[in-house]
């Protein structure tokens, strides 16, 4: 009875451990995919900013930035 219980525990642990290893490998692959996508996004953002000129809207200038837009008064329209 005791040995059967120990065998069951060993089986459960080895199953858990192999599942854990599989999930760890999946996680590593997903991290790589995320990093690739992040690089693509950064590249596209850089290209967009390089190709876009400063946009004028009435007396505001919009300076495109990667993370946060910065607004400033347009001195030429005053």
The pLDDT tens digits of the residues spanning 36-46 come to 998 888 888 77
In angstroms, the CA 57 to CA 75 distance is 13
Q: Is the pLDDT of residue 11 over 60?
A: yes
Tell me, rounded to whole angstroms, the distance of Cα 66 from its chain centroid.
15
Total domains present in the chain: 1
Once rounded to an integer, what is the mean pLDDT over residues 29-37? 90
The residue ranking higher by pLDDT, 16 or 71, is 16
pLDDT at res. 26: 92
What is the span of the domain harbouring residue 62?
Answer: 2-77
The residue ranking higher by pLDDT, 60 or 23, is 23
Phi, psi of 72 (to 5 degrees): -145, 155
| The model's pTM | 0.45
């Amino acid at each position: 009875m005791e040995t059967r219980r120990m065998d069951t525990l060993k089986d459960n642990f080895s199953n858990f451990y192999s599942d854990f290893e599989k999930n760890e490998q999946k996680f590593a692959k997903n991290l790589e995919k995320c990093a690739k996508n992040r690089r693509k996004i950064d590249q596209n953002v850089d290209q967009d900013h390089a190709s876009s000129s400063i946009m004028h809207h009435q007396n505001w200038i919009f300076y495109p930035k990667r993370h946060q837009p910065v607004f400033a008064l347009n001195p030429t329209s005053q």
